Amino acid sequence: MELAYDNTTTDSMNKPKAKVITVTSGKGGVGKSSTATNLALSLAALDKKVCVFDADASLANINILLGIQPAYTLQHLLKGEKNLNDIIIDGPRGLKVVPGATGIAEYAQLSIEQKLTLLTALDQLQQEFDYLIIDTAAGIGDDVLDFIKASQFSIIIITPEPTSLTDSFSLLKVLKRANYKRTPYILVNMALDLENSQAIYKRFESAVKKYVDVNIAYLGYVQVDESMISSVKLQCPTVLLSPDSNASLCFKKLATDLNENIADTSVDSFSEFWRQQDDIEEIIAESPLEKPTDAFINKDNTPDVIAPVPSATTPLNFKQAADFCIAQLSNGHLDETESNAFLDAITQFQPQQEPLSPETAQIPPDSPVRAFYQYLEQKSFPKEVMREVVATLEQAYFTKHADSLNSFDSTALKLFSQFNGSEEDLRHLNQQTVDCFQRHFKKPLYDITEHLQELTTSNDFSQAAFDELLDNLLSTYQDQFSSRYRTDADESLERAREDISVLQKQLSDINNELNSTHSLLNEKTHLLEQIQALLPSTKTS
Protein backbone atom coordinates (compact mmCIF):
# COMPACT_ATOMS: atom_id res chain seq x y z
CA MET A 1 0.00 0.00 0.00
CA GLU A 2 1.30 3.43 -0.87
CA LEU A 3 1.77 5.96 1.92
CA ALA A 4 -0.95 8.59 2.08
CA TYR A 5 0.43 12.08 1.58
CA ASP A 6 -0.39 14.93 3.96
CA ASN A 7 1.06 18.30 2.98
CA THR A 8 -0.59 20.44 5.62
CA THR A 9 2.59 20.83 7.68
CA THR A 10 4.19 24.19 6.95
CA ASP A 11 6.54 26.56 8.64
CA SER A 12 4.44 29.37 10.08
CA MET A 13 7.31 31.82 9.54
CA ASN A 14 7.32 31.10 5.78
CA LYS A 15 3.70 30.26 5.10
CA PRO A 16 3.19 29.58 1.36
CA LYS A 17 1.03 31.97 -0.61
CA ALA A 18 0.44 30.34 -3.99
CA LYS A 19 -2.32 27.84 -4.65
CA VAL A 20 -0.89 24.98 -6.71
CA ILE A 21 -3.07 23.64 -9.54
CA THR A 22 -2.01 20.64 -11.64
CA VAL A 23 -3.50 20.37 -15.15
CA THR A 24 -3.33 16.81 -16.44
CA SER A 25 -5.09 14.25 -18.64
CA GLY A 26 -5.23 10.53 -19.21
CA LYS A 27 -4.04 10.87 -22.80
CA GLY A 28 -2.36 13.36 -25.09
CA GLY A 29 -4.03 15.47 -27.73
CA VAL A 30 -6.88 16.74 -25.55
CA GLY A 31 -5.64 20.35 -25.27
CA LYS A 32 -3.98 20.01 -21.87
CA SER A 33 -1.06 22.39 -22.42
CA SER A 34 -3.26 24.86 -24.30
CA THR A 35 -5.74 24.80 -21.42
CA ALA A 36 -2.99 25.32 -18.83
CA THR A 37 -1.58 28.28 -20.78
CA ASN A 38 -4.90 30.01 -21.45
CA LEU A 39 -6.13 29.42 -17.89
CA ALA A 40 -2.90 30.86 -16.48
CA LEU A 41 -3.21 33.96 -18.69
CA SER A 42 -6.87 34.35 -17.70
CA LEU A 43 -5.92 34.23 -14.00
CA ALA A 44 -3.17 36.79 -14.69
CA ALA A 45 -5.84 39.03 -16.26
CA LEU A 46 -7.50 39.09 -12.82
CA ASP A 47 -4.38 40.88 -11.49
CA LYS A 48 -3.01 37.65 -10.03
CA LYS A 49 0.67 36.74 -10.01
CA VAL A 50 0.84 33.46 -11.92
CA CYS A 51 3.69 31.05 -12.65
CA VAL A 52 3.49 28.00 -14.94
CA PHE A 53 5.58 24.85 -14.42
CA ASP A 54 6.19 23.17 -17.77
CA ALA A 55 6.40 19.64 -16.42
CA ASP A 56 6.19 17.88 -19.78
CA ALA A 57 9.84 17.52 -20.76
CA SER A 58 9.12 15.31 -23.77
CA LEU A 59 7.07 18.00 -25.55
CA ALA A 60 7.79 21.32 -23.77
CA ASN A 61 4.58 22.76 -25.18
CA ILE A 62 4.24 25.85 -22.99
CA ASN A 63 7.10 27.81 -24.53
CA ILE A 64 5.93 26.79 -28.03
CA LEU A 65 2.37 27.94 -27.36
CA LEU A 66 3.73 31.27 -26.07
CA GLY A 67 6.24 31.63 -28.91
CA ILE A 68 9.24 31.88 -26.57
CA GLN A 69 12.42 29.83 -26.27
CA PRO A 70 13.98 29.10 -22.86
CA ALA A 71 17.72 29.52 -22.54
CA TYR A 72 17.90 27.51 -19.30
CA THR A 73 15.82 24.91 -17.48
CA LEU A 74 15.44 23.55 -13.97
CA GLN A 75 18.41 21.27 -14.62
CA HIS A 76 20.73 24.30 -14.73
CA LEU A 77 19.41 25.29 -11.30
CA LEU A 78 19.96 21.81 -9.86
CA LYS A 79 23.53 21.73 -11.23
CA GLY A 80 24.27 25.06 -9.57
CA GLU A 81 24.93 26.75 -12.91
CA LYS A 82 22.04 29.24 -12.68
CA ASN A 83 19.79 30.65 -9.98
CA LEU A 84 15.99 30.67 -9.98
CA ASN A 85 15.66 34.12 -11.52
CA ASP A 86 17.95 33.07 -14.40
CA ILE A 87 15.74 30.19 -15.54
CA ILE A 88 12.32 31.86 -15.21
CA ILE A 89 10.89 33.11 -18.52
CA ASP A 90 8.75 36.24 -18.79
CA GLY A 91 5.47 35.79 -20.66
CA PRO A 92 2.54 38.04 -21.61
CA ARG A 93 0.37 39.65 -18.90
CA GLY A 94 3.20 39.27 -16.40
CA LEU A 95 3.04 35.46 -16.62
CA LYS A 96 6.18 33.57 -15.51
CA VAL A 97 7.25 30.15 -16.83
CA VAL A 98 9.61 27.61 -15.22
CA PRO A 99 10.83 25.32 -18.03
CA GLY A 100 11.86 21.72 -17.49
CA ALA A 101 10.00 21.32 -14.21
CA THR A 102 10.00 17.53 -14.63
CA GLY A 103 13.34 17.59 -12.86
CA ILE A 104 11.25 17.55 -9.69
CA ALA A 105 9.98 14.09 -10.62
CA GLU A 106 13.57 12.81 -10.34
CA TYR A 107 13.74 13.96 -6.72
CA ALA A 108 14.75 10.55 -5.38
CA GLN A 109 17.89 10.54 -7.57
CA LEU A 110 19.07 14.01 -6.51
CA SER A 111 21.94 14.69 -4.14
CA ILE A 112 21.36 16.32 -0.74
CA GLU A 113 22.61 19.65 -2.09
CA GLN A 114 20.32 19.45 -5.13
CA LYS A 115 17.34 18.56 -2.94
CA LEU A 116 17.96 21.58 -0.73
CA THR A 117 18.34 23.81 -3.80
CA LEU A 118 15.10 22.51 -5.30
CA LEU A 119 13.03 22.75 -2.12
CA THR A 120 14.29 26.27 -1.47
CA ALA A 121 13.29 27.28 -5.00
CA LEU A 122 9.82 25.75 -4.60
CA ASP A 123 9.28 27.55 -1.30
CA GLN A 124 10.42 30.83 -2.87
CA LEU A 125 8.03 30.46 -5.81
CA GLN A 126 5.09 29.56 -3.60
CA GLN A 127 5.71 32.66 -1.50
CA GLU A 128 6.04 35.02 -4.50
CA PHE A 129 3.01 34.01 -6.61
CA ASP A 130 -0.74 33.70 -6.17
CA TYR A 131 -1.04 30.65 -8.42
CA LEU A 132 1.34 27.92 -9.61
CA ILE A 133 -0.06 26.10 -12.66
CA ILE A 134 1.62 22.76 -13.41
CA ASP A 135 1.32 21.35 -16.95
CA THR A 136 2.14 17.65 -16.57
CA ALA A 137 2.83 15.02 -19.17
CA ALA A 138 -0.16 12.97 -20.29
CA GLY A 139 -0.85 9.49 -18.93
CA ILE A 140 -0.38 7.74 -15.60
CA GLY A 141 3.40 7.87 -15.17
CA ASP A 142 4.98 8.23 -11.74
CA ASP A 143 5.92 11.85 -12.40
CA VAL A 144 2.30 12.71 -13.28
CA LEU A 145 1.00 11.02 -10.13
CA ASP A 146 3.59 12.80 -7.96
CA PHE A 147 2.58 16.22 -9.26
CA ILE A 148 -1.11 15.51 -8.69
CA LYS A 149 -0.49 14.25 -5.13
CA ALA A 150 1.76 17.22 -4.29
CA SER A 151 -0.70 19.82 -5.61
CA GLN A 152 -3.56 21.22 -3.62
CA PHE A 153 -5.87 21.20 -6.66
CA SER A 154 -5.92 19.12 -9.83
CA ILE A 155 -7.77 19.57 -13.11
CA ILE A 156 -8.29 16.55 -15.38
CA ILE A 157 -9.05 17.38 -19.02
CA ILE A 158 -11.52 15.20 -20.88
CA THR A 159 -13.03 15.50 -24.35
CA PRO A 160 -16.01 13.84 -26.07
CA GLU A 161 -13.57 11.29 -27.53
CA PRO A 162 -14.14 7.81 -26.02
CA THR A 163 -10.38 7.22 -25.63
CA SER A 164 -10.05 10.41 -23.60
CA LEU A 165 -12.79 9.27 -21.25
CA THR A 166 -11.37 5.77 -20.76
CA ASP A 167 -7.82 7.03 -20.21
CA SER A 168 -8.99 9.62 -17.66
CA PHE A 169 -10.97 6.82 -16.04
CA SER A 170 -7.68 4.89 -15.73
CA LEU A 171 -5.96 7.90 -14.19
CA LEU A 172 -8.62 8.20 -11.47
CA LYS A 173 -8.36 4.50 -10.79
CA VAL A 174 -4.59 4.72 -10.29
CA LEU A 175 -4.99 7.76 -8.04
CA LYS A 176 -7.42 5.86 -5.83
CA ARG A 177 -4.90 3.02 -5.49
CA ALA A 178 -2.30 5.62 -4.53
CA ASN A 179 -4.58 6.63 -1.64
CA TYR A 180 -5.28 10.04 -3.16
CA LYS A 181 -7.93 11.76 -1.00
CA ARG A 182 -8.62 15.06 -2.76
CA THR A 183 -11.45 15.75 -5.22
CA PRO A 184 -10.20 16.36 -8.79
CA TYR A 185 -11.88 18.96 -10.98
CA ILE A 186 -13.08 17.78 -14.38
CA LEU A 187 -12.87 20.17 -17.34
CA VAL A 188 -14.65 19.20 -20.57
CA ASN A 189 -12.68 20.48 -23.56
CA MET A 190 -13.92 20.70 -27.17
CA ALA A 191 -17.59 20.65 -26.10
CA LEU A 192 -20.28 21.96 -28.43
CA ASP A 193 -21.92 24.03 -25.68
CA LEU A 194 -22.77 24.01 -21.97
CA GLU A 195 -25.51 21.40 -22.33
CA ASN A 196 -23.25 19.09 -24.33
CA SER A 197 -20.41 19.44 -21.80
CA GLN A 198 -22.68 18.60 -18.87
CA ALA A 199 -24.01 15.55 -20.68
CA ILE A 200 -20.44 14.33 -21.27
CA TYR A 201 -19.50 14.99 -17.65
CA LYS A 202 -22.56 13.21 -16.22
CA ARG A 203 -21.80 10.20 -18.39
CA PHE A 204 -18.22 10.19 -17.16
CA GLU A 205 -19.21 10.81 -13.53
CA SER A 206 -21.70 7.96 -13.59
CA ALA A 207 -19.05 5.48 -14.72
CA VAL A 208 -16.50 6.80 -12.21
CA LYS A 209 -18.88 6.48 -9.27
CA LYS A 210 -20.00 3.03 -10.35
CA TYR A 211 -16.61 1.44 -11.06
CA VAL A 212 -14.05 3.53 -9.15
CA ASP A 213 -16.08 5.07 -6.33
CA VAL A 214 -14.23 8.38 -6.09
CA ASN A 215 -15.57 11.92 -5.90
CA ILE A 216 -15.04 14.30 -8.81
CA ALA A 217 -16.35 17.84 -9.46
CA TYR A 218 -17.46 19.60 -12.64
CA LEU A 219 -15.26 22.67 -13.21
CA GLY A 220 -16.63 23.85 -16.56
CA TYR A 221 -16.04 23.52 -20.27
CA VAL A 222 -14.18 25.02 -23.22
CA GLN A 223 -16.23 25.28 -26.39
CA VAL A 224 -14.82 23.84 -29.59
CA ASP A 225 -13.44 26.82 -31.48
CA GLU A 226 -11.41 27.34 -34.65
CA SER A 227 -9.37 29.97 -32.83
CA MET A 228 -7.85 27.23 -30.65
CA ILE A 229 -6.37 25.61 -33.74
CA SER A 230 -5.19 28.93 -35.17
CA SER A 231 -3.58 29.90 -31.86
CA VAL A 232 -1.35 26.82 -31.95
CA LYS A 233 -0.22 27.59 -35.49
CA LEU A 234 0.43 31.26 -34.70
CA GLN A 235 2.04 30.49 -31.31
CA CYS A 236 -0.28 32.93 -29.63
CA PRO A 237 -2.74 31.73 -26.94
CA THR A 238 -6.41 32.05 -27.80
CA VAL A 239 -7.15 34.54 -25.01
CA LEU A 240 -4.63 36.91 -26.62
CA LEU A 241 -5.26 36.09 -30.26
CA SER A 242 -9.04 36.26 -30.11
CA PRO A 243 -10.19 37.65 -26.73
CA ASP A 244 -13.88 37.63 -27.69
CA SER A 245 -13.99 34.11 -29.15
CA ASN A 246 -16.17 31.44 -27.55
CA ALA A 247 -13.13 29.60 -26.20
CA SER A 248 -11.64 32.78 -24.70
CA LEU A 249 -14.90 33.61 -22.96
CA CYS A 250 -14.95 30.08 -21.53
CA PHE A 251 -11.41 30.51 -20.14
CA LYS A 252 -12.35 33.88 -18.66
CA LYS A 253 -15.32 32.32 -16.85
CA LEU A 254 -13.22 29.35 -15.71
CA ALA A 255 -10.59 31.64 -14.20
CA THR A 256 -13.18 33.84 -12.50
CA ASP A 257 -15.11 30.90 -11.05
CA LEU A 258 -11.97 29.07 -9.97
CA ASN A 259 -10.56 32.15 -8.29
CA GLU A 260 -13.83 32.79 -6.42
CA ASN A 261 -14.26 29.17 -5.34
CA ILE A 262 -10.79 28.70 -3.87
CA ALA A 263 -10.07 32.28 -2.78
CA ASP A 264 -10.63 31.52 0.91
CA THR A 265 -9.04 28.07 0.84
CA SER A 266 -6.01 27.62 3.08
CA VAL A 267 -2.76 27.02 1.19
CA ASP A 268 -0.73 23.83 1.48
CA SER A 269 3.01 23.54 0.98
CA PHE A 270 3.91 22.20 -2.46
CA SER A 271 7.47 21.27 -1.46
CA GLU A 272 6.36 19.35 1.64
CA PHE A 273 5.41 16.36 -0.51
CA TRP A 274 9.01 15.77 -1.59
CA ARG A 275 10.26 16.37 1.93
CA GLN A 276 8.04 13.56 3.11
CA GLN A 277 9.40 11.26 0.40
CA ASP A 278 12.65 11.00 2.36
CA ASP A 279 10.64 9.43 5.21
CA ILE A 280 9.38 6.62 2.99
CA GLU A 281 11.60 3.58 3.55
CA GLU A 282 9.86 1.02 1.45
CA ILE A 283 7.50 1.07 -1.53
CA ILE A 284 5.50 -2.07 -2.18
CA ALA A 285 5.17 -2.87 -5.89
CA GLU A 286 1.65 -2.60 -7.14
CA SER A 287 -0.13 -5.45 -8.87
CA PRO A 288 -0.83 -5.14 -12.61
CA LEU A 289 -3.47 -2.51 -13.31
CA GLU A 290 -6.89 -3.64 -14.28
CA LYS A 291 -8.11 -2.35 -17.54
CA PRO A 292 -10.83 0.27 -16.90
CA THR A 293 -14.38 -0.79 -17.51
CA ASP A 294 -15.34 0.64 -20.88
CA ALA A 295 -18.47 2.57 -19.97
CA PHE A 296 -18.24 4.72 -23.10
CA ILE A 297 -18.02 2.21 -25.96
CA ASN A 298 -20.23 -0.83 -26.29
CA LYS A 299 -17.99 -3.79 -27.03
CA ASP A 300 -18.62 -7.43 -26.30
CA ASN A 301 -15.01 -8.62 -26.22
CA THR A 302 -13.42 -6.23 -23.77
CA PRO A 303 -10.84 -8.10 -21.63
CA ASP A 304 -10.88 -7.56 -17.87
CA VAL A 305 -7.12 -7.46 -17.37
CA ILE A 306 -4.25 -6.01 -19.36
CA ALA A 307 -1.30 -8.34 -19.62
CA PRO A 308 1.47 -6.94 -17.39
CA VAL A 309 4.59 -5.59 -19.04
CA PRO A 310 7.73 -7.25 -17.67
CA SER A 311 9.44 -4.99 -15.18
CA ALA A 312 12.89 -3.72 -16.01
CA THR A 313 15.42 -1.57 -14.27
CA THR A 314 16.09 0.33 -17.49
CA PRO A 315 13.68 1.27 -20.30
CA LEU A 316 13.30 -1.23 -23.13
CA ASN A 317 15.03 -0.33 -26.34
CA PHE A 318 13.17 -0.57 -29.63
CA LYS A 319 14.26 -4.13 -30.43
CA GLN A 320 13.35 -5.40 -26.96
CA ALA A 321 9.95 -3.74 -27.16
CA ALA A 322 9.36 -5.18 -30.64
CA ASP A 323 10.39 -8.67 -29.54
CA PHE A 324 8.02 -8.46 -26.56
CA CYS A 325 5.07 -7.35 -28.75
CA ILE A 326 5.78 -10.11 -31.31
CA ALA A 327 5.93 -12.69 -28.52
CA GLN A 328 2.59 -11.53 -27.15
CA LEU A 329 1.02 -11.81 -30.60
CA SER A 330 2.50 -15.22 -31.34
CA ASN A 331 1.77 -16.95 -28.01
CA GLY A 332 -1.93 -16.09 -28.10
CA HIS A 333 -1.96 -13.89 -24.98
CA LEU A 334 -3.80 -11.14 -26.89
CA ASP A 335 -7.32 -11.57 -28.18
CA GLU A 336 -8.52 -10.45 -31.62
CA THR A 337 -9.61 -7.00 -30.41
CA GLU A 338 -6.24 -6.23 -28.81
CA SER A 339 -4.34 -7.57 -31.80
CA ASN A 340 -6.35 -5.41 -34.20
CA ALA A 341 -5.85 -2.35 -31.98
CA PHE A 342 -2.08 -2.97 -31.96
CA LEU A 343 -1.91 -3.43 -35.74
CA ASP A 344 -4.01 -0.31 -36.29
CA ALA A 345 -1.62 1.68 -34.09
CA ILE A 346 1.35 0.40 -36.11
CA THR A 347 -0.35 1.05 -39.44
CA GLN A 348 -0.66 4.79 -38.81
CA PHE A 349 3.12 5.09 -39.03
CA GLN A 350 3.29 3.36 -42.43
CA PRO A 351 3.97 5.57 -45.49
CA GLN A 352 0.62 6.76 -46.75
CA GLN A 353 -0.40 6.07 -50.33
CA GLU A 354 -1.52 8.84 -52.60
CA PRO A 355 -5.29 9.30 -52.28
CA LEU A 356 -7.45 8.25 -55.17
CA SER A 357 -8.52 10.98 -57.52
CA PRO A 358 -12.19 11.99 -57.50
CA GLU A 359 -12.68 10.15 -60.76
CA THR A 360 -11.47 6.82 -59.36
CA ALA A 361 -12.53 7.08 -55.72
CA GLN A 362 -15.71 5.11 -55.20
CA ILE A 363 -17.75 4.33 -52.09
CA PRO A 364 -18.43 0.55 -51.89
CA PRO A 365 -22.14 -0.36 -51.71
CA ASP A 366 -21.72 -1.95 -48.27
CA SER A 367 -19.62 0.94 -46.90
CA PRO A 368 -20.76 2.42 -43.54
CA VAL A 369 -20.14 5.82 -45.12
CA ARG A 370 -22.89 5.18 -47.66
CA ALA A 371 -25.17 3.92 -44.90
CA PHE A 372 -24.51 7.10 -42.96
CA TYR A 373 -25.34 9.23 -46.00
CA GLN A 374 -28.60 7.33 -46.41
CA TYR A 375 -29.42 7.87 -42.73
CA LEU A 376 -28.92 11.63 -43.09
CA GLU A 377 -31.09 11.73 -46.19
CA GLN A 378 -33.88 9.68 -44.58
CA LYS A 379 -33.86 11.96 -41.51
CA SER A 380 -33.97 15.07 -43.72
CA PHE A 381 -30.45 16.01 -42.63
CA PRO A 382 -31.14 16.73 -38.90
CA LYS A 383 -29.43 19.90 -37.79
CA GLU A 384 -28.15 18.81 -34.35
CA VAL A 385 -26.87 15.44 -35.59
CA MET A 386 -24.98 16.98 -38.50
CA ARG A 387 -23.57 19.71 -36.27
CA GLU A 388 -22.22 17.23 -33.73
CA VAL A 389 -20.83 14.90 -36.42
CA VAL A 390 -19.06 17.71 -38.26
CA ALA A 391 -17.57 19.13 -35.04
CA THR A 392 -16.42 15.67 -33.89
CA LEU A 393 -14.88 14.76 -37.26
CA GLU A 394 -13.11 18.10 -37.50
CA GLN A 395 -11.63 17.68 -34.02
CA ALA A 396 -10.67 14.06 -34.75
CA TYR A 397 -8.90 15.19 -37.92
CA PHE A 398 -6.97 17.83 -35.99
CA THR A 399 -6.02 15.36 -33.22
CA LYS A 400 -4.93 12.69 -35.70
CA HIS A 401 -3.07 14.83 -38.21
CA ALA A 402 -2.17 17.92 -36.11
CA ASP A 403 -3.60 20.17 -38.80
CA SER A 404 -6.73 22.18 -39.40
CA LEU A 405 -9.30 20.66 -41.72
CA ASN A 406 -9.71 24.01 -43.44
CA SER A 407 -7.00 26.00 -45.17
CA PHE A 408 -6.35 29.57 -44.11
CA ASP A 409 -8.04 30.92 -47.25
CA SER A 410 -11.12 28.72 -46.87
CA THR A 411 -11.44 29.66 -43.20
CA ALA A 412 -11.29 33.36 -44.07
CA LEU A 413 -13.79 32.90 -46.90
CA LYS A 414 -16.17 31.01 -44.62
CA LEU A 415 -15.90 33.73 -41.99
CA PHE A 416 -16.76 36.54 -44.39
CA SER A 417 -19.50 34.59 -46.16
CA GLN A 418 -21.26 33.97 -42.83
CA PHE A 419 -20.78 37.50 -41.54
CA ASN A 420 -24.02 39.35 -40.92
CA GLY A 421 -23.09 41.48 -37.94
CA SER A 422 -22.85 45.20 -37.52
CA GLU A 423 -20.27 47.60 -38.88
CA GLU A 424 -18.76 47.76 -35.39
CA ASP A 425 -18.29 43.96 -35.34
CA LEU A 426 -16.35 44.04 -38.60
CA ARG A 427 -14.21 46.93 -37.33
CA HIS A 428 -13.43 44.88 -34.23
CA LEU A 429 -12.42 41.88 -36.37
CA ASN A 430 -10.16 44.12 -38.44
CA GLN A 431 -8.54 45.52 -35.29
CA GLN A 432 -7.86 42.00 -34.01
CA THR A 433 -6.13 41.17 -37.30
CA VAL A 434 -4.01 44.33 -37.09
CA ASP A 435 -3.04 43.60 -33.47
CA CYS A 436 -2.17 39.97 -34.27
CA PHE A 437 0.07 41.05 -37.17
CA GLN A 438 1.85 43.56 -34.91
CA ARG A 439 2.47 40.95 -32.19
CA HIS A 440 3.96 38.37 -34.52
CA PHE A 441 5.96 40.46 -36.95
CA LYS A 442 6.87 43.41 -34.70
CA LYS A 443 5.71 45.96 -37.26
CA PRO A 444 2.40 47.56 -38.23
CA LEU A 445 0.21 45.84 -40.80
CA TYR A 446 -0.21 49.06 -42.78
CA ASP A 447 2.39 51.63 -43.89
CA ILE A 448 0.41 54.70 -42.85
CA THR A 449 2.05 56.97 -45.44
CA GLU A 450 1.45 54.53 -48.26
CA HIS A 451 -2.09 53.88 -47.05
CA LEU A 452 -2.95 57.60 -46.95
CA GLN A 453 -1.46 58.13 -50.38
CA GLU A 454 -3.57 55.34 -51.85
CA LEU A 455 -6.64 56.71 -50.09
CA THR A 456 -6.22 60.34 -51.18
CA THR A 457 -5.42 59.49 -54.79
CA SER A 458 -8.57 57.44 -55.13
CA ASN A 459 -11.25 58.84 -57.43
CA ASP A 460 -13.78 58.35 -54.64
CA PHE A 461 -11.91 60.73 -52.32
CA SER A 462 -13.45 64.21 -52.72
CA GLN A 463 -11.87 67.60 -52.07
CA ALA A 464 -14.18 68.10 -49.11
CA ALA A 465 -13.02 64.81 -47.62
CA PHE A 466 -9.43 65.84 -48.27
CA ASP A 467 -9.97 69.17 -46.49
CA GLU A 468 -11.59 67.42 -43.55
CA LEU A 469 -8.68 64.94 -43.35
CA LEU A 470 -6.15 67.79 -43.36
CA ASP A 471 -8.05 69.67 -40.68
CA ASN A 472 -8.18 66.56 -38.50
CA LEU A 473 -4.48 65.83 -39.02
CA LEU A 474 -3.47 69.41 -38.22
CA SER A 475 -5.68 69.45 -35.14
CA THR A 476 -4.24 66.11 -33.95
CA TYR A 477 -0.69 67.37 -34.56
CA GLN A 478 -1.33 70.44 -32.42
CA ASP A 479 -2.85 68.34 -29.61
CA GLN A 480 0.02 65.86 -29.72
CA PHE A 481 2.95 68.29 -29.89
CA SER A 482 1.39 71.46 -28.44
CA SER A 483 2.32 73.49 -31.52
CA ARG A 484 0.96 74.18 -34.96
CA TYR A 485 2.24 72.24 -37.94
CA ARG A 486 4.66 74.45 -39.95
CA THR A 487 4.06 74.47 -43.69
CA ASP A 488 6.30 76.07 -46.35
CA ALA A 489 3.97 79.09 -46.32
CA ASP A 490 4.44 79.39 -42.56
CA GLU A 491 8.20 79.35 -42.99
CA SER A 492 8.02 81.95 -45.83
CA LEU A 493 5.79 84.13 -43.68
CA GLU A 494 8.21 83.79 -40.79
CA ARG A 495 11.12 84.84 -43.01
CA ALA A 496 9.07 87.80 -44.38
CA ARG A 497 8.29 88.91 -40.84
CA GLU A 498 11.96 88.73 -39.96
CA ASP A 499 12.83 90.82 -43.07
CA ILE A 500 10.13 93.38 -42.20
CA SER A 501 11.48 93.57 -38.68
CA VAL A 502 14.98 94.25 -40.04
CA LEU A 503 13.64 96.91 -42.42
CA GLN A 504 11.64 98.51 -39.62
CA LYS A 505 14.80 98.64 -37.55
CA GLN A 506 16.70 100.22 -40.43
CA LEU A 507 13.89 102.76 -41.00
CA SER A 508 13.91 103.65 -37.32
CA ASP A 509 17.68 104.17 -37.44
CA ILE A 510 17.34 106.39 -40.54
CA ASN A 511 14.57 108.42 -38.91
CA ASN A 512 16.70 108.83 -35.81
CA GLU A 513 19.61 109.96 -37.94
CA LEU A 514 17.41 112.44 -39.89
CA ASN A 515 16.05 113.84 -36.65
CA SER A 516 19.56 114.25 -35.35
CA THR A 517 20.67 116.01 -38.58
CA HIS A 518 17.63 118.23 -38.54
CA SER A 519 18.31 119.24 -34.94
CA LEU A 520 21.94 120.03 -35.76
CA LEU A 521 20.88 122.10 -38.75
CA ASN A 522 18.48 124.10 -36.60
CA GLU A 523 21.23 124.78 -34.10
CA LYS A 524 23.56 125.97 -36.85
CA THR A 525 20.87 128.20 -38.36
CA HIS A 526 20.14 129.73 -34.98
CA LEU A 527 23.85 130.33 -34.40
CA LEU A 528 24.22 131.97 -37.79
CA GLU A 529 21.33 134.25 -37.06
CA GLN A 530 22.96 135.33 -33.80
CA ILE A 531 26.24 136.03 -35.57
CA GLN A 532 24.54 138.17 -38.19
CA ALA A 533 22.79 140.14 -35.49
CA LEU A 534 26.13 141.05 -33.91
CA LEU A 535 27.66 142.35 -37.10
CA PRO A 536 27.36 146.17 -37.77
CA SER A 537 24.72 146.89 -40.27
CA THR A 538 25.90 148.61 -43.50
CA LYS A 539 23.93 151.48 -44.90
CA THR A 540 23.93 152.32 -48.53
CA SER A 541 24.32 155.93 -49.50
Tell me the three state secondary structure of residue 220: strand
- pLDDT the model gives residue 470: 84
Q: For residue 449, what are the CA distances in angstroms to 437, 452, 455, 512? A: 18, 5, 10, 55
Residue 363 DSSP one-character state: -
Contact 399, 392 (CB under 8 A): no
Q: What is the CATH number of domain 19-282?
A: 3.40.50.300
DSSP states of 277-306 as a string? HTT----PPPPPPBPPP-SSS--S---SBP
Euclidean distance between CA atoms 366 and 206, whole angstroms: 36
- As a whole number of angstroms, the distance between CA 220 and CA 187 comes to 5
Closest CA to 39 of 198, 160, 189, 169: 189
What is the residue-level pLDDT of the chain in tens, covering all 541 positions? Answer: 333 334 444 444 467 788 999 999 988 888 888 999 999 999 999 999 999 988 775 666 787 788 888 888 888 888 888 888 898 989 899 999 988 755 565 655 667 787 788 788 888 888 999 999 988 888 888 778 888 888 889 999 999 988 888 889 889 999 988 888 899 999 999 999 999 999 999 999 999 998 888 999 999 999 998 888 888 878 889 998 888 999 999 999 999 999 998 878 888 888 887 777 655 333 333 434 344 444 443 344 333 333 333 443 445 556 556 666 666 665 555 666 766 666 666 665 555 544 444 443 455 666 677 677 667 666 666 777 777 777 777 777 766 666 666 666 666 666 665 556 567 767 777 777 777 777 777 788 777 788 788 877 888 888 888 888 888 888 888 888 888 887 788 888 888 988 999 999 999 999 999 999 998 898 889 888 888 888 876 655 4
Radius of gyration of the chain (CA): 39
Residue ranges with strand state E in 272-423: none
What pLDDT does 163 receive?
Answer: 87
What is the per-residue pLDDT for 8? Answer: 44
According to DSSP, the β-strands at 50-55 and 131-136 are parallel
292, 295, 294: which is closest to 305 by C-alpha? 292
Whole-angstrom Cα distance, residue 337 to residue 394?
Answer: 26
What amino acid occupies position 391?
Answer: A
Sequence-distant (≥ 6) Cβ neighbours of residue 215 within 8 angstroms:
183
What lies within 8 Å, CB to CB, of 221 at 6+ separation is: 187, 188, 189, 191, 194, 196, 197, 198, 250
CA 133, 217, 178, 265 torsion: positive or negative?
A: positive
Provide the whole-model pTM: 0.53
Kind of pairing between the strands at 131-136 and 96-98: unpaired
503 SS3 class: helix
Helix axes 336-347, 318-330, angle to 10 degrees: 150
Annotate 66-80 with DSSP letters as a single string.
HT---S--HHHHHTT
Query: What are the sequence ranges of the domains in the chain?
Result: 19-282, 493-520
pLDDT value, residue 468: 86
C-alpha–C-alpha distance, residues 156 and 154, integer Å: 7
